[in-house]
């Protein structure tokens, strides 16, 4: 039985349909940005339900600007990366990193969460990907100001 990290805060999100638990086949961690300034987990959840018509927030975990790590879908199949949802966990950092930069607190929390998930699922640092690095993706996600090579180097250090 998978245990969610103790440093992740559970928030009251209502999903419109039951979520499917993830299987053992998790191979990737995919990093995203909200691509909106000032959006928290609740605004993102509402957007995914009301506009995208999903059951709720598509990300497994969400990191606020202050570094707080919140549970989105947790260990349930996400809706964040077409063709990769069944084999990945999605981490979204609030902000628009085409314009702004992630906070130091966000980067530190993302590193902590990635270390935990990499250990739990035996994921190599090379398989921590930005959404834009997936085949067929035309988005800049997690933003032009989020350097994935630097982030992988950052998380490769303890």
Q: Is residue 2 part of a domain?
A: no
Q: Is residue 13 part of a domain?
A: no
Q: Is residue 87 part of a domain?
A: yes
> What tens digit of pLDDT does each residue of 62-81 get?
999 999 999 999 999 999 99
Q: Is residue 18 part of a domain?
A: no
CATH number at residue 137: 3.40.80.10
11 token code pair: 């928030």
Task: State the residue range of the domain holding 101.
Answer: 28-155
Q: Is residue 15 part of a domain?
A: no
Rounded to two decimals, the pTM is 0.96
> What tens digit of pLDDT does each residue of 87-142 get?
999 999 999 999 999 999 999 999 999 999 999 999 999 999 999 999 999 999 99
Q: Is residue 145 part of a domain?
A: yes
**What total number of domains does the chain contain?**
1
Q: Is residue 37 part of a domain?
A: yes
99 token code pair: 């314009």
Q: In 34-79, where do the E strands start and end?
A: 61-63, 69-71
Q: Is residue 22 part of a domain?
A: no
Asked whether 154 and 113 are in contact (CB, 8 A), the reply is no
Count the alpha carbons within 13 Å of 77 in the hemisphere toward its beta carbon.
17
């Amino acid at each position: 039985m998978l245990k969610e990290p103790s440093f992740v805060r559970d928030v009251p999100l209502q999903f419109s349909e039951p979520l499917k638990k993830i299987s053992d086949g998790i191979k990737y961690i995919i990093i995203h940005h909200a691509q909106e300034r000032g959006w928290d987990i609740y605004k993102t959840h509402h957007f995914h339900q009301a506009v995208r018509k999903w059951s709720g927030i598509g990300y497994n975990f969400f990191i606020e600007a202050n570094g707080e790590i919140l549970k989105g879908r947790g260990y349930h199949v996400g809706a964040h990366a077409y063709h990769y949802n069944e084999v990945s966990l999605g981490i979204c950092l609030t902000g628009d990193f085409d314009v702004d930069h992630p906070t130091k607190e966000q980067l530190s929390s993302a590193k902590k969460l990635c270390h935990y998930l990499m250990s739990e699922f035996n994921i190599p640092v090379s398989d921590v990907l930005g959404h834009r690095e997936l085949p067929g993706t035309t988005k800049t996600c997690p933003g032009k100001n989020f350097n994935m090579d630097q982030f992988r180097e950052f998380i490769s250090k303890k």
